[in-house]
Amino acid sequence: MNIFGIGLPEMAVIMIVALLIFGPKKLPEIGRSLGKAIKGFQEASKEFQDEFKKEAEQIEKVINTPMEAKLEPPAPKALASNEAATSSEPEVVTPVAEESTSSSQQS
């Protein structure tokens, strides 16, 4: 029997020392509270693992699902020709262009 690297002889020495320090009346109470603490730690650890697995599965599900491409409905012909003319050449406004237009408007 090897628990946490402690063999049977070491475990017996620890139990005898604990019996001498705490006495026979307190030892069961200490063992019970230690058992509850270990059980609470195990439950918290299991809950963390479950939450981690759930998040990993959700991320994997998102990665494995194919993306859907949705096309917009075609624009009416009148709007399409106006948008094509304006959208093909982006409008760039620079301070130099503004000064030249404002000086031409003043004269």
| pTM beyond cutoff 0.75 | no
pLDDT tens, position by position, 41-55: 999 999 999 999 999
- Domain limits, the chain: 8-73
Can you give the chain as a three-state secondary structure string? CCECCECHHHHHHHHHHHHHHHHHHHHHHHHHHHHHHHHHHHHHHHHHHHHHHHHHHHHHHHHHCCCCCCCCCCCCHHHHHHHHHHHHCCCCCCHHHHHHHHHHHHC
pLDDT tens, position by position, 39-88: 999 999 999 999 999 999 999 888 888 877 788 887 776 554 555 555 55
Residue 95 CA to residue 35 CA, distance in Å, equals 77
Residue 95 CA to residue 20 CA, distance in Å, equals 90
| pLDDT-based confidence at residue 96 (cuts at 50, 70, 90) | low
